Structure 1
């Protein structure tokens, strides 16, 4: 009788393990189906397209900041543009990490909005006097237009990431958003400390 009981327990244990394994397989299959469904959704496709858009924008901003740094008059603004350029390079790396988390290849999508904002900044350099505070005041406004575009983009993308359950992606986007907001505040501080006032005194 003892032998029969052992066999019965062994059989029961095997059935229990098989059931658990089956449930685990089902859960994995359901997760895969849900992930595939999410990736094919219109919202996810838009999200990915917007990431490619800002990825292009960040690369373009790195080049634009170098020109703005060279054109700036004051050392304070030159340093601010240099710091922002280094920060933007980090943002590019962060976006590449986001693409990896989403199991996507980093890819640029031409961003007409940032191209227009950068072109406006180039026009400012051409239309203002070299070495003037007026040029610095105008460059700050141009740089802040870039910042506001980035703030709007990263803020919106962070919320979409939260909605879709991409928590790690959302954390990275929110970190970049905070840095963009800090840069915008810093530019305002530089302008209001002395540049705007000195520009107003120029003939």
Structure 2
């Protein structure tokens, strides 16, 4: 895809976000099974539900713009982050150390998603896609909240137990 305009960039980034969220719907159940701490297991399960809603929002955002269609584009950045997390799982025993590492891996994903949705919101505003911006801003808010939740979980419990 040869990108020549902000609109085409928006479509590309929205398509990548869609791919990334789909990849996360497959990764999060594995992460929940690999986690030891019950609060971390619950956090991954809750984020899976949120991620399914985020996929629906991407579709709504695209539907709010008549000339936009999400394309089948793979998000290689998300694929790499997930692969890195999987390697961490495979190289650690189930328990507090793995949990601490998984929180770090999950936060890398959250920070990537925060950057991605922040960019999408700004582009949507620039392009006059007001409804799409509102929809994507909901997801941005959720991603920031998920990152905050992981930070609190690490500080309150998990990192200390890995100790």
Q: TM-score range by the shorter chain?
A: over 0.9
Where does residue 137 of structure 2 map in the other structure? 174
Which of 84, 97, 108 aligns to 1:120? It is 84
Structure 1 stretch 158-167 or stretch 105-114: which is displaced more?
105-114
Q: How does 1:121-160 map to 2 (within 5 A)?
A: 121-130=85-94, 132-160=95-123
Q: Are the counterparts in 1 of residues 12 and 71 from structure 2 also a CA contact under 8 Å?
A: no
Q: Are the counterparts in 1 of residues 35 and 98 from structure 2 also a CA contact under 8 Å?
A: yes
State the shift of 1:41 in Å. 6.1
Are 2:48 and 1:93 aligned? no
Per-residue CA shift, 1:71-120, capped at 9, x if unaligned? 00011000000000000000000001111112233333101100100000
SS at match of 1:48: helix
Are 2:127 and 1:164 aligned? yes
Backbone CA RMSD of aligned residues: 1.2
Runs of 5+ consecutive residues of structure 1 not aligned to the other structure:
1-39
Where does residue 73 of structure 1 map in the other structure? 36
Where does residue 35 of structure 1 map in the other structure? none
Per-residue CA shift, 1:107-154, capped at 9, x if unaligned? 331011001000000001001112x10000000001011100100000
Distance 1:62 1:199 in 2: 27
Aligned residues between the structures: 160
Distance 2:54 2:159 in 1: 29
